Structure 1
Amino acid sequence: MSGTVQTKPGQERQGGPGRFGRPERSGRPNRGPRKEEEVVWVPRTELGKKVAAGLITNMDEIYSNGLRIQEAGIIKKLLPDLKSEVIDVGMVQKMTPNGQQTKFKALVAAGNGNGWLGIGQGKSKQMRVAIEKATTNAFLNVSPIKLGCGSWECRCDQAHSVPFKVRGKGGSVVVEIVPAPRGLGLVAGGKIRNLLKLAGLKDAWTTAKGSTATMNSTSKAILECLRQTFSQG
């Protein structure tokens, strides 16, 4: 007597014995997207312990006292609406005695669209690790930005542009941001426009000179421009 399983006409075979006596599966189960486990922040510095305990509740207290931020968890705690965006990625090659070594580099910007912006860079042999390092550095480099209306054509009391004309330099790139009237929008290139949106600007004229394709220098020039609004304003 053979070991085959006979089925009636019109009846499909389900759950029959497969290879090595194991039941056959009609198809693979649908798996949802993999969820990464959130790492619980454990403060290590005195400032981090005060923030975790609720003794410090906003970023103004840190900057007014001149305290140094050494943990990205402090920024995430005090600025929960901060968002990160990858600006640029690339590869770095280095010749070593063992041969050519290749690493990935990433440039990430972090902002909440309401007067806070930070830019960080990270390198690693894996792209994911490089982005994580750049994101952490971007959180640590977050700086306050003063928004306002410095346009003589508008003269409103809303914080939609820069309060005055600012100029910044990063490497060979020089960027100038001029206040614009409300409703004009951001007159800038694609990547520069994204950085200004993360900072919270809605209307502005911009001019850029130099190798603007080098986002490392361009982002530094923009961050220096926006920092001047807080230091000089």
Structure 2
Amino acid sequence: MNFNMEEWEPRTNLGRLVKEGVITSIDEIFEEGHPIMELEIIDALLPDLEEEVIDVNLVQRMHKSGRKVNFRVIVAVGNRDGYVGLGQGKAREVGPAIRKAVDDAKFNLIKVRRGCGDWGCVCGREHTVPFKVSGKSGSVRVTLIPAPGGVGLAIGDVGKTIMRLAGIDDVWSHTRGQTQTTVNFARATFDALKQLSKVKASEKDLKNLGVCST
């Protein structure tokens, strides 16, 4: 669905500031810690987000009127340049479930720290993770390790999709647990990327690692 700025009628003060051009970057919102309550804000500031369906599954539950069957969909969104989100949606049909998952992923959008964190690589580009970090979900634990340029994405297919959407070209990884559980693998990978912003480092160290200040 194409976003039309002219037809958008903001319902929040933050939305009005975006539409009026007072706020022109998603970074301004993240840095101030403002909650995003309207999807149109993300559509306006990050119009180039791509969507990838990670997993589609049938889920059943018993109800007094009988067995209820829904589709559960996991979707990742990203602009391949430092922003990525992961979301889930449920509905009786696949299409609406995907739409819900995409919206959820946009609300869960994060900015990913990137750099040149491998000491054997001095290219200075933002092509890998700047630090070793780990994330977990359920029994799955994913550790991301900086890699030199040209290594590629040494991680499972689900992780590859999330890394590409985040704009990471090279990474080593180590996984533990039931990694064949797609949902937990995706969430653990996403959690590891979230941990990047929590690592404390001096401006000098960040500059040496090729990380742009956030």
Quickly name the TM-score band, shorter chain normalised. Answer: 0.7 to 0.9
The answer to whether structure 1 residue 80 and structure 2 residue 47 are counterparts is: yes
State the percentage of identical aligned residues.
43
- Aligned twin of 1:180: 147
Q: Which string of whole-angstrom CA distances, capped at 9 and with x for unpartnered residues, describes residues 179-233 of structure 1?
A: 1111111111112111111111111111111111222211221111111222225
Alignment correspondent of 1:58: 25
Give the Cα–Cα distance (whole angstroms) in 1 for the partners of residues 55 and 89 of structure 2: 11
Deviation at 1:80, TM superposition (A): 1.1
Q: Which runs of 4+ in 1 moved over 4 A?
A: 36-40
5+ residue gaps, structure 2: 202-214
Alignment partners' CA distance in 1, 2:11 and 2:107 = 15
What residue is the counterpart of 2:77 in the other structure? 110
The answer to whether residue 136 in structure 2 is matched with residue 194 in structure 1 is no
Distance 1:155 1:82 in 2: 30
Query: Are 2:198 and 1:228 equivalent residues in the alignment?
Result: no
Aligned 8 A contact 2:158 2:185 in 1:
no
The answer for the alignment partner of 1:168 in structure 2 is 135
The answer to whether residue 111 in structure 2 is matched with residue 151 in structure 1 is: no
For residue 134 of structure 2, give the secondary structure of its aligned residue in structure 1.
strand
Shift of 1:43: 1.9
The amino acid that maps onto 1:62 is I
2:62 to 88, 95, 98: 95
SS of residue paired to 1:81: coil
Stretch deviating more after TM superposition (186-195 or 139-148)? 186-195
SS of equivalent residue, structure 1 residue 106? strand
**Which 5+ residue runs of structure 1 have no aligned equivalent?**
1-35
Q: Residue 8 of structure 1 aligns with which residue?
A: none
Counterpart residue number, 1:125:
92
Shift of 1:86: 0.6
State how far apart, in whole Å, the 1-side matches of 2:3 and 2:130 are. 39
**C-alpha distance after superposition, 1:9-57 (max 9, x if no partner):** xxxxxxxxxxxxxxxxxxxxxxxxxxx7867543212111111111110
Structure with more relative contact order (C-alpha pairs < 8 Å, separation 6 or more): 2
Listed as ranges, the matches of 1:203-214 within 5 Å are 203-214=170-181
What amino acid maps onto 1:129 in structure 2? P
Aligned equivalent of 2:102: 135
Amino acid at match of 1:58: S
User: What TM-score comes out, normalization by structure 2 length?
Assistant: 0.88
Letter in 2 for 1:49: R
Distance (whole Å) between structure 2 residues aligned to residue 45 and residue 217 of structure 1? 34
Q: Which moved more, 1:161-170 or 1:40-49?
A: 40-49
Pairwise CA RMSD = 1.5
Aligned match of 2:35: 68
The Cα offsets for residues 155-176 of structure 1, whole Å up to 9 and x where unpaired, read as: 2211110111111111111000
How does the TM-score come out when normalised to structure 1?
Answer: 0.81
Residue 85 of structure 1, CA deviation = 0.7
Higher-Rg member (1/2): 1
Looking at structure 1, the residues matched to 27 and 156 of structure 2 have their Cα atoms a distance apart, in angstroms, of 32
**8 Å contact kept, 2:117–2:129:** yes
- In the other structure, the counterpart of 1:30 is none
Question: Would the alpha carbon gap of residues 176 and 46 (structure 1) be closer, same or farther in structure 2, given more than 3 Å must change?
Answer: same
